[in-house]
Copies of this chain bind each other. A is one copy, B any other.
Amino acid sequence: MKLHEYQSKTIFSKYGIPIPKGRVAATAVEAKHIAEELGGRVVIKSQVLVGGRGKAGGIKLAKDPNEAEQLATQILGMEIKGLPVRKVLVDEAASIDQEIYLGITNDRAAKKPVIMASAAGGVDIEEVAATNPEKIIKVHIDPLLGIRDYQTRDIASGIDLPREYWKSFGEIVKGLWQAYSDNDATLAEINPLVISKDKMVALDGKMLIDDNAMFRHPNLNEMRDLDVEAPSEIEARKYGLTFIKLDGDIGCMVNGAGLAMATMDIIKLFGGEPANFLDIGGGAGADKVAAAMRIILSDPNVKAILFNVFGGITRGDEVAKGILAAMKEVKPTVPMVIRLVGTNAEEGRRLLADADMITAETLADAAKKAVAAAQGA
Contacts and interface: CB of A to CB of B under 8 A. Distances in A.
A144 interface: yes
Interface string A133-170: 00000000000110000000000000000000000000
Copies of this chain: 2
Nearest to A145: B144
Nearest to A146: B144
A221 to B, nearest CB: 23
Interface in A15-67: none
Interface residues of A, number: 2
A169 B130 CA distance: 53
Contacts of A144: 144-145
A144 B145 CA distance: 6
A299 to B, nearest CB: 44
Nearest to A142: B144
A144 B148 CA distance: 13
Contacts of A145: 144
A99 B69 CA distance: 68
A119 B193 CA distance: 56
A144 B144 CA distance: 6
Interface in A145-204: 145
A145 B144 CA distance: 6
A329 to B, nearest CB: 43
A145 B145 CA distance: 8
A174 to B, nearest CB: 15
A49 B240 CA distance: 57
Interface string A191-231: 00000000000000000000000000000000000000000
A316 B67 CA distance: 76
Interface of A: 144-145
Closest 2 CB pairs of A and B: A144-B144, A144-B145
2 contacts: A144-B144, A144-B145
